[in-house]
Amino acid sequence: MALSYKARRRWALIILLIGMPLYIIFAIAGVALLFSYTGRPPIAIEFAIYVILGVVWVFPFKKVFMGVGQADPDAAPSDPQ
């Protein structure tokens, strides 16, 4: 079942305004918990972990964000005057 353009825009907004801050909180807490057990790694490894976590979150939502920044394909064309 494909989402309509309006539904994708709404879900994208919800994901960015609610889901993203929650993901950041849980990602940082998870990494801090991991480091409390293993000790802090070298700065390059820690940086790589945060970069990977910063990119990985978008893959499950790829279809939601596709074309959201474009004009509504279902809308009637506007009158160019």
pLDDT tens for the chain, 81 residues: list them. Answer: 677 888 888 998 999 999 999 999 999 999 999 999 999 999 999 999 999 999 998 888 888 888 777 777 776 676 565
Q: Secondary structure of the chain in the HEC alphabet?
A: CCCCHHHHHHHHHHHHHHHHHHHHHHHHHHHHHHHHHHCCCCHHHHHHHHHHHHHHCCHHHHHHHCCCCCCCCCCCCCCCC
Q: What is the pLDDT of residue 22?
A: 95
Residue 79's pLDDT is 56
Note the maximum CA span of the chain: 66
Instruction: Please tell me the predicted confidence (pLDDT) of residue 81.
Output: 59
The model's pTM is 0.75
